[in-house]
Structure 1
């Protein structure tokens, strides 16, 4: 697989994957990204031009997608509308990108008989009770809560259908919450970090008891490469690093690491339908494919992430004011 096509490769998780591929393999990467608000061309700066080709375009453009598939050995599909708050405000873009876009890519994979890996989320499984000892596995029934997670669930089911009905060479991975460099400031961890850097008090939905299972984006990237190399066609693999933390603890940890009082944040109106807890059981990935996370210490990974945002204000500052104005209008 010397030629990879990466959709959404200028977004948060996609750009981290492109950096990881360049640093750990000899593959050539073609990035297809529509450069919506969540895509940033600067996230690919510094990568060698002989290893990375950038194409601006939409995954619903069947003609362009077909041309790019013809020149690829394998495709990794990161492109997605992914922010829950935005899906509650306007669901339509989530249908266009996550459903129609994935369909367009699958049809190209079918025509060209290309290896296809689909990136999904643990949010398709709904949520768990805070005191539930169980975690999500590959056999957990789907129970999405939002327009975002329901369209991702739909895209997963499309992939499974194209494998079974048309023999597409596809795998799926469902990953827990990512953190790390290049994440848009609308997301939970970078929003709190950049608020502190701007002298703004962080905001916490409700009581902050909601639990997320955090994984560094570089670990997600290494897992995807492992699945591309060793994964069985038609299989789903859950990716997680045993990083369960509730939102209140994460905000207080960020404040403490940045030299602020741990309680220097404000509680705001909770998100509608806010899932309680996500937790990933990645046993299958670890035992069958031999993958292990490198960032097993959440605090060390978070510290490195804080440093990145402190050192790269020019990357996140252009979108910060608009994000805070949006949330201010909602009382959040």
Structure 2
């Protein structure tokens, strides 16, 4: 039962609306969502098995890629089952605590993904700009330390979010106009003043995804300067080819992420169904595309894939 417009309450559960205006099409929309989820699971699990099985892939770049795949698997598994349940069975209800947990996992894991992409950019920077020192700088201890730092950064900086929402009273309705629990979608239902909470969320977003993106751009500027100073065209093309797959991953991750983030805060004139679609793309497409991009663009992973399946290329 929905609360009246002026009731202040803390709901036992929320109701997920899904994609506003397209509720009648949820069954059809579930088909590509199901395929994306299946491809994400198969691709990331396959990538992890290939890297684990092939000793030649036990290098910093692929260790960071494993970390990214683990974060992708956790992210999709924390959202897709509930979204598909909503689409298939109209199961809109989500417990208050479960909603806060899902919201925390989405934001913290997305932050970790951003950190792992930055770590991969750092690896490319060291490999291209300081190739003789690559193995000295990125030792197993440093790789482990970077991975743990990224995980703890996401876990700790986002840990206040559930408490910021738990202590609020909610007005008007317990219906969330979204397919999953998201910080800004929830905070819009609150009765109390939320400027401080929104400011904290904005600061955290800048200190994580925003700062990561700036550092990634800086690393690639330095990489390009180094590449263009190489003596031969063949060397330049070969060096650039090693960064192509990572460049595509950066575009696939950050483009919908920034669109969703800016739309939540400033895009009030964008149609709700477009915003919700992009918000889902931000969570679902990168985990599916990362294994595909690296599988197509990275020779070692392609070879590991065929070796894993015991297929000899002609």
Mark yes or no: TM-score above 0.5.
no
Please identify which structure carries the higher strand content: 1
Please identify which structure carries the higher helix content: 2
**What TM-score comes out, normalization by structure 2 length?**
0.29
Determine which structure has more spread, i.e. the larger CA radius of gyration. 2
